[in-house]
Each structure stands twice: as C-alpha cells, then as structure tokens.
Chain A
C-alpha cells in the first residue's frame, strides 16, 4: 500500500486526475449537449430549411453556399446563433458593400427570418445561442459590480459613459446608449469585428447581466449636475466654455464698459 500512497503524492498524479476529470465532464457535456441539440434540430428542421433558403439568397454571395466563407466574407462555421442575430438585428448584415466596419442600419430582415438564418447557421456547427429570457433577467444583478467590470473590460474602447471611442484606421467602438439588452449580451458573446469575444467562461452570465444592469442604471438616471453636454467629458466642456462661458463674461464686460453717452 505504501507504493500507492507514494504514487498518490507523485506530481504527475494531479495531472492525471485533472485530465480524467476533464474527460469525464467534457464527455458528459458533449453527450448531453448533442442530445439537446439534436432534439431542437429535429423540432426546428423547418426553420432551418427556411433559414438555408434565405441564406442562399442573401448571404451566400459573400459567406459561401455552405457558410464556409469566400474572399468577401468570413466563414460562419461555429459563430453561433447569437452572432447572426446580433449582426442582422443591428442591420450590419447583409453588408451592402466594402467598408472598414460594417455599418449598423435598419434591419432588412424581420425577427422571424433572422431566427431562421440563425438556426441554420447554428445547425452547421454549435456556437453561442441566442440568450434566453432568463439570461437577460437583470433584476438580481449587481449594477455596481457591473460598473467595475465595465470599466475593466469595456471602457477602454466604449468610454466610461459608453459614448463610444475611436479605434485605428476609421474603426470605432459605437455608442451603447441606444442598444438593447439582448444586443449587448450578444455583442459580448460574439465579439463583432475588433471587439474581443467575452465567452461565458471568461465573463460568466452573471457578470454579463451585471454589466447590462450598470449600463441601464447609467443611461436611465438623469444627470445630477444638469445638462451633461453629451457626456463626452472635458472636450465638450471646454467647447461649451469657449463658446458660451467666455462669451457671456465678455458680453458683460462690453455692457459694463460701454460708454455712457
């Protein structure tokens, strides 16, 4: 028994155990996952077919007939339904023409069609799913913690009061004020373009909910100090100062200094 005890303390034992654990949980996950996936695929076969049709008409010219990508569009294998919904519901896709960054515009497809294409893309390979109502329930979320997460993960691109920020070569992180909760969630899941992907393993669902709660808290609260000048910080404050502040002071000077005739 002594040898076994010694072997148990061997450094490699830990690694072996870890691998074993991973294998078991990973395998179990894969099995259950494929089971649910298969079930939903069955249920939604009609939806997928409709999506495939729409995809061939509207997207395949750039993304290829199998969604594997062409020179003018990246592969969509494994991007997930959330990504497709985000890209289409913000009007970024279908892309109208070459651009440094797909512009968002009024969506060309309705929610039903988007759901169809999303499930078609999801049927090609698994990826992040469209967030459920439970995912988007932020009533329990801690907005203050969300603020910390936002400043640590998002503010460097989107600015502290999320008015957006410039990236290189004409790309920019957009203003998040008008974006819906679901789209914020999906943006984090899919990491459009220059934005990093915040997968559920790096930023758990509760953290995503906290971030959304923080964004909502800030954009709904009135500015306590008065007119916020667009929340752009010192630049608009300085602009306001030189156009209104100094001008008012000089107007007073001219008025007081005017000769009495």
Chain B
C-alpha cells in the first residue's frame, strides 16, 4: 500500500466506524445507471445550473443593486457623463473594468439560457417517453415547479442591470400585474414599493434572484435527484430488461467518470460560446428611463412565448358593475400561462385515469407507442413555437418585408390552427410507425432481396428481427379504453356517477382512438413459421462455394481487394459482424 492509499483507507475507516458509511457507500456506488443520451439531458441542466451558480457568485461580488442615480464616469465613452442608476453603473463596471467581468457576465447569461433550455428539453424527454408515470408522478410535479422557478430566476436576473431593454420588460411585468382584476394595483404597489419604477425594486429583485429562487431551485433539485436515486432510473426496453431490473453501468467507476467528463464538456461548450458570442450588450441599450422604449425590445427566449401571446391577443374589454374590465393583458399574460402550467402539473394523473392504469412503469414507452400523448406533446411545442415566433414579429416583418399587421393576423390564425394539425399529423405518424412495427413482428424485416421461385413466382425475402428490435416492439403495453358505463346496475339501481363516468369513458375512447393492437402470440408464431419457410427457400443460394467468384451478397461484380471466392467473402463478413443472430445481408 502506498502512503496515499494508507491515508485514504485510514480516513474511510475513521468515518465508517463513526457513521457506518461503508455499507451505504457500497450499496450506492454499485447502483446502476442505464445508458442513453436522452437520459443525460437532466445532467446538462444540472451542470449548467452549477456554472450559473459559480459565475453568479463572482458577479455578486461586484454588482450593486442600488437605484440611486449616479453620473457614469467609467471608460465606456458613449455613456460618459450620462445619468443612470448605480445598478446599471455597476453592471457597466463589471463589463468594462472588472477583470474577466464581461466574460463572467456572458458565461452567466449563456449558461442560464442553457440551464432553462436543458430543463425544457429534459422535460419533453420525460414526457415523450412516459417517464412521468407511476411511481414518478411526484418527481414530475417537482420538475414542473422547477421549470417555472428557472423561468422566474432567468427573468429576475435579466431585469437586474436596469438597462433600457430589461427595464421595458419590467414595465410590461408591472402592466401584467396591474391587469389582475381588483387587486392588481395594490399588488404592483406592494412589489414596487409605490409607483413604478420607484427606488426599491432592484434591491428587492436582487434578493429574490440571488437568494430566494436559487435556494428553492437547489432544494428542489436535491429532492428531485434523491427521488431519481431512490426510485431508480427508467430504461428503454431491450433484451433482458424488465420492469424489475435496471441494466446499465455501475455508478462507480464507469458512470462517475462519464459524468465528470460530461460536466467539463458542458462547461467547455458554455465557455467557448461565451468567449466568442456577445450576449445582452447593455451598454448599447443605455440606462432605463421610464419614458423611453426601444424598437425591437424582446425578452429572452424562455419568456418569448408569453410576450408573443401578449402581442397577438386581440383587444377585449367589457363593462361590469360600472367598471371597465380589460382582458387583453390578463388573459394572454396570466390565464394562458396559468392553464399551461396546470395542464403540465395534472397530466400524469389525467393519463393514468383515462388508462385506468395504476401499475408501476419502469420501462419507457417509445413515443410512437403512445400516439395521443406524443401528439399532445408536439401540439404543445407547436403552440409554444408559434407564440415565440410572434414575439419576434417586428424583426420578421422587417427581415421579410411584410406588413406587421398582416403578420399578426396570420400568427393569430396559426396559433389556433397549427397546434391541432400538429396533433393530428403526429398521431397519424405514430400510428403508421406502429403499424409497421406490427408488420415487422408478424412478417419479419424486409430485406429487399427478391427471390424467384421455381414455378416463376417472385417473393421478397423477410428476415427474422434481431433480439434488440424485437424486445423494443414487444414492449408496447396495450391498455383497454375505459368501458362505457351502464346507466343502471344489474338490480336496476341508477348509477349516481353515470354522467361523470361517461365523460371519462369518452375521453378515454378518444385517447385510445385507432389504437393498433399488438399481434397475438399466435400471429407472431405464425409469422415466425412463415419467415422460417422463406429462409429455407433461400438456403440453396446461401450455400457457400469455393469456386464461385461473385459477391456473396448477390452482386455480380467482384471488387478489387475483396476476398476472391464466395466462401472467403462470407467468412470475412462473419468476422466483421460478430453478432451471432445476424444474417448476412
């Protein structure tokens, strides 16, 4: 044993004798984590969050959340002598005077974008694979809360420098608050400490941005990861993978090494982008002055869809109780995002209900095997993308020389029409893919080889599926739609919940519409026999001959450098394709 090993061992023993940690470590370090690139998206979120935290600490050493007006005296000439808040002044200081400050600001901003982006992509991975199903609904709920918190964290940070663009964003946030019926004005006064913008808000926002939201996110991420740990990760179907095991690499050393390397890769990507690409050049926006607003003022992308909704929503107001109720901000800015969030929260339970499904699921769905869910997901993405595009409508209007008024109308129509179309098309595609899977299971894989039988008939040869593919297709879980409820039970007593149950049964029927049932065992057996027959028919061609100098795959040309005879070629092929069950094609 080397000196270092002795020391390490001694330390481990010391800790173990006092905490019993070795048994715990052994159990947990032997945990297995399945391997698939899409399972690393959560990690991307985690790592970019770490980068956000580190750079945020650096920025907080120099940023002053103070709305006292000062005169800029720094080195950036086009702002020299301009009156601005000390917050903006210190943000300029970080950009132009603090060593590494501008790079830190850019890393912080780009990694924040990556954080939120990775959260969104991770969320859709979880959604499309059905990883939110029992027992992981709770973790999904925590996830939705996390997603909302990251958006708030992003927006609060974006607003801190008190520049003209973010100040305009805050002005819109104030307008949104004012739009809440009855309590809006009070809520806004409470938050801003009086009339907008006041002198308190940036320091309040600062506390929220560097303490409250990161604290909540950190706590929730911890619980989130403990749950992933405890419930174990899901896996895609494959040979030897069941609902009761996890196939993958042990955490130590393979997974840890990979994860460590992955962290530095992500860190590297962020730093590379931040060093090369400018983000949020506040010095060109200038300080916030409430009576100014620039053209082309947009929020960061994660808030873009809400801005888009605001831009598209038509004017609506009515009079009630002697007051005018203005809805054209309240609905797009609060009701629509509220509904979107609530739908995200309740979706796992909704789906379980229409499937009458209370089993545990540790094997993931392939998206095609849940056509309605996948359709709904694509519908949500389409809705989001159309609204995000609407947030850039002014830039699109200039870029493509369009009338912004017409563009708004087209986007309004697109917001309503495109998501349902996306839903229908996606569901169709999923069903077609399932149909092909079914075909493969009962008829084997098409090889593209045409065989002419002795009596003149041409057939296409099908080959048996390999084990991987077969396991994937067979993993589809078929569930019956909820039955149509009976109005009266056998003894003629009226079912009091009849109407409710019928509604659920209708919804369930819609969810399972056009479901393509998995082939029965009998059909599969029959198919296997059929494939075996074809393989038999083709056998004479497969006979390996010493003399023949043509490609063993049927090609008539012999390529230079290839082994000479049919037999040699076949042997070479087998060497190159060691999978025992594969066939030469």
Contact = CB atoms under 8 A, between A and B. Distances in A.
Interface of A: 100, 142-145, 147-148, 151-152, 155-161, 163-170, 172-173, 214, 217-218, 221, 223-229, 231-235, 237-238, 240-242, 244-246, 248-250, 252-259
B301 A242 contact: yes
Nearest to B298: A234
B395 interface: yes
B79 A147 contact: yes
Contacts of B145: none
B391 interface: yes
Interface of B: 35-41, 43-44, 48, 72, 77-82, 95-96, 102, 106, 110, 113-114, 117-118, 121, 164-165, 258, 261-262, 265-266, 269, 273, 275-281, 283-286, 289, 291-301, 304, 388, 391-395, 397-398, 401-406
Contacts of B269: 245, 248-249, 252
Contacts of B39: 257
7 contacts: A159-B295, A166-B395, A166-B404, A240-B277, A253-B44, A256-B265, A257-B40
Nearest to B111: A245
B114 A152 contact: no
B500 to A, nearest CB: 43
B308 to A, nearest CB: 11
A225 B102 contact: yes
B164 A234 contact: no
Residue of B289, B293, B296, B397 contacting most chain A CB atoms (<10 Å): B296
Best-buried of A151, A224, A253 by chain B (most CB within 10 Å): A253
A165 B295 contact: yes
Given A170-B402, A256-B40, A233 B276 contact: no
Nearest to B293: A156
A165 B37 contact: no
A237 B404 CA distance: 22
A192 to B, nearest CB: 17
B295 A254 contact: no
Nearest to A100: B403
Contacts of A214: 78
A226 B114 contact: no
A143 B258 CA distance: 53
A140 B403 CA distance: 41
Majority-rule SS of B interface residues: helix
Contacts of A238: 113, 300-301, 304, 388
B102 A252 contact: no
A258 to B, nearest CB: 7
A147 B403 CA distance: 29
Contacts of B397: 166, 170, 172
B288 to A, nearest CB: 10
A214 B114 CA distance: 34
A235 B297 CA distance: 9
Q: Chain A CB within 10 Å — which of B48, B278, B398 has the most?
A: B398
Contacts of A245: 110, 113-114, 117, 269, 273
B37 A241 contact: no
A246 B117 contact: yes
B118 A246 contact: yes
A143 B278 contact: no
A257 B402 contact: no
B444 to A, nearest CB: 25
A155 B291 CA distance: 12
Given A228-B281, A234-B299, A234-B300, A160 B294 contact: yes
Contact of B295 (A158, A221, A227, A237): A158
Most B CB within 10 A of own CB, among A169, A172, A217: A172
Give 10 nearest A-B pairs by CB, closest first. Answer: A165-B295, A225-B278, A238-B301, A257-B37, A170-B403, A166-B397, A166-B394, A253-B40, A160-B294, A254-B37
A259 B304 contact: no
A196 to B, nearest CB: 15
Contacts of A156: 292-295
B114 A249 contact: yes
Contacts of B296: 159-160, 163-165, 232-233, 235
A235 B395 contact: yes
B273 A244 contact: yes
A23 B80 CA distance: 41
A174 B257 CA distance: 54
B284 A249 contact: no
A248 B273 CA distance: 10
B398 to A, nearest CB: 5
Contacts of A158: 295
Given A160-B294, A224-B102, A143 B405 contact: no
A246 B102 contact: no
A249 B113 contact: no
Contacts of B278: 223-229
B154 to A, nearest CB: 11
